[in-house]
Structure 1
Amino acid sequence: MNRLRVLDAVREHGALTQVEIAGVTGLSAATVSNLVKELDVAGAVQLRPSIRNGRRATQVSVASSSGLVGAAVFGDRDIRVAVATGPADIVSQKRMPLPADHAADEGMTRAARLIQELAEGAGHTAADLRSLVVGLPAPIDTVSGEVGSEGVLPGWRGVAVAQAMQDALGVPVLLDNTSNLAAVGEFKLGALQGISTGVFMKVSYGVGAGLIIGGELFRGSAGTAGEIGHVTIDENGPVCRCGNRGCLDTFVGARAVLAALRPSHGSLTLRDVINRALEGDPGCRRVLEDSGRHLGVALAGVVNLLNPEVVALGGQVARVGEVVLGPMREAIERCAIPSAAASVEVRVGELPPEEADVRGALAVADQLREEADRAALAAG
């Protein structure tokens, strides 16, 4: 436990001398000296000569050679993988397209191969990988460790993804929803930094949310908190892929947006719609403005319930900025309690849409690595 106290002090405060560590932890100087020697032998810390108050001292910092962490984040039609030394220090990354409705075994095989190739291409070996986080754009049941909906990502239903990837790569693996991971990315490095209660809305081919409550990601009792895309906003509305009627996703997801424009614009992709809206196309702008209003109506309930400080919009649709944000704000002001609506700021996320969930996955993978290190130190 004392070794962990020393390591935690250095992680929290940065590089410290042994005298400073003693002051922070309350341990004696002799005890700290012995603990630092043990941590140095274990490779958990780095020691550098320093000068403090005109005297020679040894500066203690967390070892930087603690291996790599990895992220494998799946979209509806692609996979993005990265290896890093930490969430802000990506060593190598790559994106690969995938067919729509791809099967789990195909996606996981590609992910494992790409992770190994990236590590080796950066001068490491697969053995340097210490942890991996996998993201899927679907509800994740943390009790079963599987996709939590029959109709969302049917090719992944019933697959123990984390265990399969752990078997393939031989490292601890955690599975999470991509909106949750993007919320972590914005909380660590983007628009939700320093926020105690915040909401991240990811709007691309589908829509989801990640909730930050008390400065931590909130997953709920079974891991499916934040599934705002499947909140009913019209009980007589279209049938959703999840089996319900009138879900938010049936009004603002890519299928609904493209269907609304097909009679006037023909076959478009979501990227086409966004680009045309940015160029001033009135039809594309109108459909995205409608999406903003629907998002605001759904968010008003979240604002009433959680009273967040910030709602950050991410995903591909965030590229149009005020086209969507303006109607969102108007709907929140109209539908939420005035005091709650007045206290929330609606803004665009700061990280690129294709990067927020990857950064969040790396941050969670870094936590997995720390937990493994702490367990090893505690075991002595």
Structure 2
Amino acid sequence: MRHHRTDAAPGSTSTLRTANQQRVLDVLRSGSAPGPTADLTGGDFTQAELARVTGLAPATVSNIVRELVASGLVETEAGSGRRGSAIRLARAAGIVGGVDFGHSHVAVAIGDLTGRLLAEERQPLEQGHAHIEALRLASSMLDAMTSKFDPAGPIRHIGLGLPAPVTNDVVRSSAIFPGWDGVNTRAAAEEHFGIPVHVENDANLGALAEHRQGVARGHDSSVFVKISSGVGAGIIIHNELFHGSGGTAGEIGHLTLDDAGPLCRCGSRGCLEAYASTGTVLAMMAGQLPDATLDDLLDAARTGNVSAQRALEDAGLHLGKGIASVVNLINPSVVVIGGDMARAGDLLLESARIGLRRHALDSVALTPILASELGERASLVGAVLLAAERTVLVVEHA
């Protein structure tokens, strides 16, 4: 359902009415007062609660709720706007999609306009896959998923995450994500999906998700470090994602820890990624645990395999050293570890905290390092949140 707003002169009654409606809609989407601290997790409100949070008069809120219910954007538990009814965004207001591409997987989800996930699915991809085949698979997965949610209508926007530097929607790394290098991902994805697509680095989406719905909620500055086949970070400063001038801020995996260290896929030596990624840890254990998966290695460590424990400890110490550079520079209030390696929990994080204390200034050496609350789903949750935020809700006025 599309709603169009007619133009009105600044300061007119119509403009004020539209602004007040938008204020109520923003609260219903975020679950809090509009502004940079809104966490976009949505929720039910009574009219009295809406009046308190928005600062609008109860009578104004009552009129707005009636208009929004009539427009199909808002629903109440009793189908009316009674003051005691629970008021929420209507499913008919629309749904959004999220797509998270990894080096060897694609995850898709649909969610409502508060950012809540309604359904999700994950499938494997070939390493080094071409972007066209990956987009084709994601599109078919979303089509199948949305067919089960007909009353909600079509997907309005899609958030899409990639494990590579992205500048102006274009992947800029032949070494890190070769099947997508030089591709204008937004244009290619919109051609496949047929709706607006918003592209972000996957670690940035993880940072957004943890900030809005996860363990970093309530912190105005945080760093999310995603450790899988690569290592990347998303940075939140003053409740906003920090992209840097070219959009590639947060490439923590390519901090140089040792000029004479192992060769990294980026072409440099001694990068953090060459010491702390999932592939590195598995390679360290290849002699003792051939063909092991990460879960196999973690099981071995938890049941007393000292070599597996040492491999995770070494990775954690290097991770802590890399994090020290970040906290010395931007002083976040919390660092969140996500991605596959977050499943290691304190087997990794305790040594990361030791590494941080060894290499950070005293004033920031005790910055908390916490496991992701959203786990491997963080980037996918962030993709849905991004799509929900970019979907503008407007009401048709007579």
TM tier, smaller: 0.7 to 0.9
Corresponding residue for residue 324 of structure 1: 348
What are the equivalent positions in structure 2 for 1:1-380 lying under 5 Å apart?
1-2=15-16, 3-12=18-27, 15=45, 17=47, 21=51, 24=54, 39-46=68-75, 48-51=80-83, 62-86=89-113, 89-123=116-150, 128-141=154-167, 143=168, 145-342=169-366, 344-353=367-376, 355-369=377-391, 372-374=392-394, 377=395
CA distance in 1, matches of 2:283, 2:49: 67
Q: Is the 8 A contact 1:277 1:320 kept in 2?
A: no
- 1:275-308 per-residue CA deviation (whole Å, 9 max, x = no partner) reads 3222221111111100000001111011111111
CA distance in 1, matches of 2:118, 2:64: 32
3-state SS of 2:223 partner: strand
Q: Residue 86 of structure 1: CA displacement?
A: 4.3
Q: Is the 8 A contact 1:205 1:270 kept in 2?
A: no
- 1:265 partner letter: L
Q: Is the 8 A contact 1:22 1:32 kept in 2?
A: no
Q: Is the 8 A contact 1:18 1:60 kept in 2?
A: no
Q: Residue 36 of structure 1: CA displacement?
A: 5.9
3-state SS of 1:133 partner: strand
**Cα distance change on mapping 1:44 and 1:239 into 2, 3 Å:** same
What fraction of aligned residue pairs are identical, expressed as a percent? 35
Higher helix share: 1
3-state SS of 1:262 partner: coil
**Cα distance change on mapping 1:265 and 1:26 into 2, 3 Å:** closer
Corresponding residue for residue 55 of structure 1: none
Q: Residue 183 of structure 1: CA displacement?
A: 1.4
Q: Is the 8 A contact 1:5 1:25 kept in 2?
A: no
Higher strand share: 1
Structure 2: unaligned runs, 5 residues or longer = 1-14, 33-43
Structure 1: unaligned runs, 5 residues or longer = 53-57
Say which is worse superposed, 261-270 or 163-172, in terms of deviation.
261-270
**Cα distance change on mapping 1:61 and 1:4 into 2, 3 Å:** farther
How many pairs were matched up?
A: 365
CA distance in 2, matches of 1:306, 1:117: 43
- 1:136-190 per-residue CA deviation (whole Å, 9 max, x = no partner) reads 111111x2x1112121110011111122222222221111111111111211221
CA distance in 2, matches of 1:59, 1:327: 47
Q: Is the 8 A contact 2:47 2:62 kept in 1?
A: no
**Cα distance change on mapping 1:176 and 1:49 into 2, 3 Å:** closer
CA distance in 2, matches of 1:18, 1:272: 53
**Cα distance change on mapping 1:35 and 1:326 into 2, 3 Å:** closer
Q: Is the 8 A contact 1:92 1:122 kept in 2?
A: no
CA-based RMSD of the aligned residues comes to 2.8
CA distance in 2, matches of 1:195, 1:107: 35
With the length of structure 1 as denominator, give the TM-score of the two structures.
0.87
**Cα distance change on mapping 1:323 and 1:64 into 2, 3 Å:** same
